[in-house]
Amino acid sequence: MFYSETYDVIVVGGGHAGTEAALASARMGVKTLLLTHNIETLGQMSCNPAIGGIGKGHLVKEIDALGGAMAKAIDLGGIQFRTLNSSKGPAVRATRAQADRSLYRAAIRSMLENQPNLTLFQQSCDDLIVEQDRVVGVVTQMGLKFRAKTVVLTVGTFLGGVIHIGLDNYQGGRAGDPPSNALAKRLRALPFRVDRLKTGTPARLDARTLDYSVMQAQPGDDPLPVFSFMGNVSQHPRQISCYITHTNEQTHEIIRNNLDRSPMYAGVIEGIGPRYCPSIEDKVMRFADKTNHQIFVEPEGLNSIEVYPNGISTSLPFDVQQALIHSIKGFENAHIIRPGYAIEYDYFDPRDLKHSLETKFIAGLFFAGQINGTTGYEEAGAQGLLAGLNAALQVQGKDAWSPSRDQAYMGVLVDDLSTLGTKEPYRMFTSRAEYRLLLREDNADIRLTPKGRELGLVDDERWAAFNAKMENIELERQRLRSSWVHPGHSSVDALNGKLKTPLSRESSLEELIRRPEITYSDLMTIDGIGPGLSDMQAAEQVEIQIKYAGYIERQQDEIARTQRNENTLLPMDLDYSKISGLSNEVVNKLTAARPETIGKASRISGITPAAISLLLVYLKKQG
Ligand code: FAD
């Protein structure tokens, strides 16, 4: 039976990719259906209850700059906020927030329920209707058919999902949810390259059975960071601390003694796991000389007794999980509420996608999220937004759009996936972006909001706030350029305590703020200059734009130079592990291939332009 309505865009899956896709398409004004297994799990975090972090926080800000949901939801659901790398340069500073799972889910659901042009429907999608290499609809588990002009698939870890705990395994999409086997079978019959990946999650513990007195408390930052460009601190719920403890030699001994019961080491799991989020058994084996590993003890919510011990993801049998957890300081009497597990699932080679995330073989069919080989909510959300946007653009008869590598981390993500593909779960890092001085969290709105407005993703309220902020920045930059201070002025002399070299001549405020030791708020203490901008985002932008202007120009020169370095020789005995900033993945690939020139290195699959820049800097330093 066909459903009475025809949709412009059907999004299958209500996880992080699916919710951003459905919201983006509906914001674009086209008729959208979000079809998902279970309405109760919309926006559910399958693994760690946290949003953001290095590289990932950048993606969240970019999603927000394009009017997306993730940053707004975490501002409403975050219970511990931090700025990572706060003492480093602005390019690598990143926001991270611990989430109350229920508050986060509720925020996402409320946005979906209040979004015009969006309808929800709970059913499993079991089949696609394809006519002459174009998708024209979907079929649900109960045989209901929906017609659509485009379909976005965002079914996460559910395709052919197999859950492993020790040597036992069973079918599942994630713990407590069914797998999508019918859809997996249908997709495997289409001409896409398909393979298996795996990921894992730790046991969840009962907070009442942990001894926090022997752990180190880790409160959030003060002042509290805010994720959304439209958000403010007053939206955050009550804030609480996370804690830190460590594994020890005894923990490692328990793991080593039971490796024959690990599905990974016994060869039961075929899929490759996330290199940067390894299981505890992987960490113990790969870093055999380390006597302990850090564990972040993260609350799952304000009204929950569940705790997420971040750092000990495992698929060892339950009795071994118990033993290893009880060997950890503070966990001696821990009760496990949910066992840890690993999951294996189908993913599709993202080289079979266009930059718009439309598949190359079936017109109108888009893939986003974990099914493209990525890992992480933020990576999924970013792809979801782009896929939903491009599905809507196609319906409107408009050209596809995806940001370039120098415009957004989203551009880096899509370009890496669709040109290089991936053999292991792909996560975002700042090191993947060669233009990272340009791609900062703080300027995501400046980079993307005007384009989002032009495309139809950004509403009037955000657009007005953005324009007001831009005007504030411009006026303040003009004021700093044209305001002069003199040595001998009493409050400037007070500033001299901070200046590395005292002011010896008249100076503009713009010159003064270029000095590394002087901040915008320092300038505002000078008589007649303050109080300055009350819009803290604009004030931060003024400071960064002036302070880092030189670095940004140098980066642009470096980009031009990289393009000229095709034939620069690489020594055959070069020890790549000595080059700081290169990821283990890149070091391994370069060491195995030993390319003769920079040009050849750049064409090795997985060697990013960012890695090439680091090689060039290293060669230059060596003379
Ligand atoms: P999901 O969030 O999985 O959402 C998929 C949605 O599709 C669900 O709502 C599901 O119900 C729905 N769905 C599936 N099939 C159908 C169908 N046929 N019809 C209708 N609806 C369907 N990420 C990390 O960054 N680090 C980690 O350490 C990590 N560990 C993980 C461990 C486990 C065990 C799991 C399950 C995930 C882990 N993740 C981790 C991954 C993280 O959960 C995902 O990257 C993220 O959720 C992917 O978002 P998504 O939208 O692509 O898919």
Residue-wise pLDDT for 361-393, tens only, equals 999 999 999 999 999 999 999 999 999 999 999
How confident is the model at residue 264, as a pLDDT? 85
CA of 385 relative to ligand 1 center, distance in Å = 16
pLDDT in tens, 292-337: 999 999 999 999 999 999 999 999 999 999 999 999 999 999 999 9
- Ligand 1 binding site (Cβ under 6 Å of any ligand atom): 12-18, 35-38, 41, 46-47, 124-125, 154-158, 173-174, 177, 180, 183, 199-201, 277, 343, 369-370, 375-377, 380
Can you list the alpha helix ranges (DSSP code H) found in 78-180?
101-113
CA of 206 relative to ligand 1 center, distance in Å = 24
- Rg of the chain over Cα atoms, rounded to whole angstroms, equals 25
How confident is the model at residue 522, as a pLDDT? 92
By DSSP bridging, strand 2-12 and strand 32-36 are: parallel
**Which atom of ligand 1 is closest in space to residue 35's alpha carbon?**
20
| Phi and psi, residue 177, nearest 5° | -120, 150
Q: Which residue's alpha carbon is nearest to atom 50 within ligand 1?
A: 156
How confident is the model at residue 125, as a pLDDT? 98
Residue 19 CA to residue 157 CA, distance in Å, equals: 16
Mutate to test the pocket of ligand 1, among 56, 154, 269 (most ligand atoms within 8 A of CB): 154
Q: Which residues of the chain have pLDDT under 50?
A: none
Q: What is the mean pLDDT of the chain?
A: 94
- Flag whether 18 is marked binding: yes
Question: What does the buried/exposed string (b/e) look like for 201-239 if buried means 16 or more CB atoms within 10 Å of the residue's CB?
Answer: bbbbbebeebeeeebeeeebeeebbbbbbbbeeebbeeb
How confident is the model at residue 563, as a pLDDT? 64
Give the distance between the most distant pair of CA atoms in the chain: 85
User: Which of these, 133, 20, 28, lies nearest to 364 by C-alpha position?
Assistant: 133
How confident is the model at residue 492, as a pLDDT? 77
User: In Å, how far are 81, 91, 448, 548 from 430, measured between CA atoms?
Assistant: 20, 8, 18, 17
Sign of the CA dihedral 565, 568, 572, 578? Answer: negative
Other residues' Cβ atoms within 10 Å of the Cβ of residue 578: 9
pTM: 0.91
ipTM > 0.95, yes or no: yes
| Phi and psi, residue 462, nearest 5° | -65, -40
- Within 8 A by CB and 6+ apart from 199, the residues are 47, 157, 273, 274, 277, 342, 343, 375, 425
CB 16 within 8 A of CB 152: no
- Flag whether 550 is marked binding: no
How confident is the model at residue 509, as a pLDDT? 94
How confident is the model at residue 562, as a pLDDT? 67
